[in-house]
Amino acid sequence: MTSKRDSSQVAILALIALAAIWGYNWVVMKIALRDAAPFDFAAIRAFFGALSLFLIMLWLRKPIKPTAIALTVLCGVLQTTGVIGLVTWALVSGGAGKTAVLNYTMPFWALILAWIFLKERLHGRQWLSVALSLVGLGFVLMPLSFIGDMLSEALAVAAGISWAMSAIVLKKINQRASFDLLSFTAWQMLFGSIPLILVAIAVPSAPIHWTPSFIVALIYNIIPGSAIAWLLWFYALNQLPTGVASLGTLAIPVVGVLAAWIQLNEVPSMTEWIGIVLILVALILNSMPTKNPN
């Protein structure tokens, strides 16, 4: 019993570390874009992030062979090409904190898509979370006064939708065959990095300035942001109930907003604060276990 309690406590510490790493990474990515075009940075971080996961698989002696290749490629296009590409593009003109919050509307798009494509029923609390998130989204988007802001916010929301679509594909894969989540994550990231590399080559951009801050940002995204963070997530997921582990990720956009406020001087307006709070409340409601009616 004591050992199980100790493992749970370590898993909670892992979630706290994960929230700090992924939450602060929104500031790190924003800083990196001062020295690199968005698709150049996205391609490099995705490709080498995938390689870091393959190294972890070799270290853990896990099987490397991919499962359900076609669906894994599709998930990679949605989760890596779509999410990483869109959020990095959004950060060019958008604030790090706001982009983080808009990207984390993913669970609500996933609920709606699962309702449409997987025929999964939404229960009372889930409908409430969707309604709150949409109202919160309206508050966050309310101060639309510049074209740059509109594009950035649209890209961040699109990234959340792309992430939700990848979750639907993941459910389809899980229904067809058992698979190792770490292996799947590595392969989808590798497959998803290929379109990003092609776009980075095709789109004219200024050369990367290999400044110390850019190198640190790139290393941060590859080692703690990919390798260490995914290990922490898989450990927490293995030791804690899924709902508890998912609830722990809610701190990520909060850390993103606070870090951007402190380091980048991105101070949310009153309407944005209202929207952020509503979205976070909706995320908490959505993460709570729901009893299925008989």
Q: Read out DSSP for 74-125?
A: HHHIIIIIIIIHHHHHHHHHS-HHHHHHHHTTHHHHHHHHHHHHS-PPPPHH
Mean pLDDT over 56-61 rounds to 90
Integer angstrom CA distances of residue 234 from 11, 107, 289 = 10, 19, 20
Cα separation of 28 and 287, whole Å?
27
pLDDT band at residue 244 using 50, 70 and 90 as cut-offs: low
pLDDT band at residue 3 using 50, 70 and 90 as cut-offs: low
Q: Which of 60, 8, 20 is nearest to 236 (CA)?
A: 8
Structure tokens at 290: 């729901």
Cβ atoms 227, 55 nearer than 8 A: yes
| pTM (2 d.p.) | 0.84
pLDDT band at residue 45 using 50, 70 and 90 as cut-offs: very high
- Tokens 């942001």 — which residue? 225
Query: 27 or 268: which carries more pLDDT confidence?
Result: 27
Is residue 289's pLDDT more than 70? no
Integer angstrom CA distances of residue 38 from 45, 138, 189 = 11, 27, 17
Is residue 101's pLDDT more than 90? no
